[in-house]
Amino acid sequence: MKNSKIIISIVIVLCLVIAGYLGISMYNSSKDNQNTQTDTNEVKSEGKSLEEADNKIEGDDTSVHTDTVQEVDETEDNSDTDIAATTKPQGTWNMILETEVTQTVRMAAFLDENIGVTGGFSSTGKLHYTTDGGKTWTKNEESGGCIYGVEIVDSNTVWVCGRMKGVSFTTPGGLRLSTDGGKTLGDTADYTTSPGKCPLSFLDDMRGWICQLNKVSETLDGGLSFNEISLPDDIGNIVGVAVYEDGSSMTGCVLSEDGVLMSTNDQGNTWSNRSELPLKERYDGYKIAKYESAATAIRFFDKDNALVVVSLTGDKIPVIVAFRTEDGGKTWTDELVCEGEGSIYLSPDGRYVTSLQFKTVTVHRYDED
């Protein structure tokens, strides 16, 4: 009996222990579930917060990007406004020809990709012409041995200025006309030139201007006679001339070494449309080069549209620059033709710039974009 009581007591104790253990396990499990739920909610909450933060950041980025774009757009608009007077050229100058010549050469001029002439000094500096872009050159034995200027009106009409007879430096020169592209030359016109650069501009085989020693003369009869043009007192040294048809009359222009351009339509009795190339503003430290042949070229297409090409030398690398106006010289845009120096020639249509350095003849063509 006593043993039975002991066994019953042990069983009761074991039951209590087991019950207590089970209770503790159930409590811990419930707590773990609560913690897990809490952690899950916290994670979800954090995820939501992160998502909201990302959205906020993304929104802020979008806002910043939009503001930046607006600022750039506004800046670009303001920039366009600021450079309205010097808008970008609507084309570029591209080199289409570069050739080494064997003849003595001081000046070179091309009408287009194919037709060109050269002239030089001494007995080997006679007029040479090409019709195949400089692949071959033919010498004109009739010309003198020293040529300073040329004007190619078209494929047939070529005016040449320089020493027409003999090779002595003191031999007076003159003006001659070719009506077959330089193959032959007519009689020397009644115009005496001195050794030195000889800017000239002709509309055809009859009408044109020629300048030497700061004296400008006009012919209307193919060189049979010349009239001296009265010049402005303050024009300075002339480095270029140009003529163009303005209605029923012919207007002439002169360019000074300081970049001042003036025009007249009454043989110099009055001068107007004074304009100054923006050399100081855009090419400070440069000046128009000085060569025995032309360092400038001018073409007026009407009273508003003109192109002036100049060879500039100075503190930096030499450049050849084209200045363009569409409002009669009130404003000018500038276009880099090329780097380098040399005498230059501009074709009548304003599309081809010929430059000469030593014995290298280069032609650049203006191509619209």
Q: DSSP secondary structure string, 153-207? A: -SSS-EEEEEE-S---TTS-BEEEEESSTTSS--PPPS--B-SS---EEESSSS-
What is the distance between the alpha carbons of residues 350 and 343, in angstroms, rounded to a whole number? 16
* Together in a domain, 48 and 164: no
Name which residue leads in pLDDT, 172 or 243.
Answer: 243
CA distances in angstroms from 54 to 19, 46, 48, 72, 149, listed in the order given: 52, 12, 10, 26, 75
* Together in a domain, 345 and 283: yes
* Together in a domain, 167 and 191: yes
| Residue 182 belongs to domain with CATH number | 2.130.10.10
- For residue 1, is pLDDT > 70? no
366 strand-pairing partners: 93
Last residue of a domain, which of 20, 47, 82?
82
* Together in a domain, 197 and 318: yes
Q: Is residue 125 part of a domain?
A: yes
Give the pLDDT confidence score for residue 8 in this predicted structure.
54
Q: Is residue 290 part of a domain?
A: yes
Last residue of a domain, which of 82, 109, 140?
82
The pair phi, psi for residue 176, each rounded to 5°, is -135, 155
* Together in a domain, 66 and 197: no
CA contacts within 13 A on the Cβ side of 274: 9
- For residue 33, is pLDDT > 50? no
Give the pLDDT confidence score for residue 89 in this predicted structure.
58
Q: What is the pLDDT of residues 284-309, one digit of tens each?
A: 999 999 988 899 999 999 999 999 99
pTM: 0.74
Residue 47 tokens, joined: 């995820």
Q: Is residue 91 part of a domain?
A: no
Give the pLDDT confidence score for residue 60 in this predicted structure.
42
Give the pLDDT confidence score for residue 270 in this predicted structure.
95
* Together in a domain, 143 and 180: yes
Rounded percentage of the chain residues whose pLDDT exceeds 70:
71
Q: pLDDT band at residue 34, thresholds of 50, 70 and 90?
A: very low
Q: What is the pLDDT of residues 42-101, one digit of tens each?
A: 434 444 443 444 444 344 433 333 333 333 333 333 333 232 234 455 799 999 999 999
**Structural domain of 62:** 39-82
Q: Is residue 319 part of a domain?
A: yes
* Together in a domain, 132 and 190: yes
Domain count, the chain: 2
Q: What is the pLDDT of residues 303-319, one digit of tens each?
A: 999 999 999 999 899 99
* The 3-state secondary structure of 253-299, one letter per residue: EEEECCCEEEEECCCCCCCEEEEECCHHHHCCCEEECCCCCCCEEEE
321 strand-pairing partners: 310, 336
Q: Is residue 358 part of a domain?
A: yes
Q: What letter would DSSP give residue 99?
A: E
* Together in a domain, 58 and 204: no
Region 321-336 average pLDDT: 96
Cα pseudo-dihedral 16, 20, 23, 28, rounded to 10: -170
Q: Is residue 339 part of a domain?
A: yes
Q: Is residue 23 part of a domain?
A: no
Q: DSSP secondary structure string, 44-76? A: HHHHHHHHHHHHHHHHHHHHHHHHHHHHHHHHH
Give the pLDDT confidence score for residue 164 in this predicted structure.
53
- For residue 332, is pLDDT > 50? yes
Region 240-245 average pLDDT: 96
* Together in a domain, 69 and 172: no
* Together in a domain, 70 and 102: no
| Contact indicator for 111, 93 with CB cutoff of 8 Å | no
| Contact indicator for 201, 221 with CB cutoff of 8 Å | no
The winner for highest mean pLDDT among 166-175, 196-205, 252-261 is: 252-261
Last residue of a domain, which of 58, 82, 106?
82
Residue 15 tokens, joined: 């039951």
Give the pLDDT confidence score for residue 144 in this predicted structure.
76
Give the pLDDT confidence score for residue 316 in this predicted structure.
92
Q: What is the mean pLDDT of the chain?
A: 80
* Together in a domain, 66 and 213: no
Q: Is residue 7 part of a domain?
A: no
* Together in a domain, 222 and 321: yes
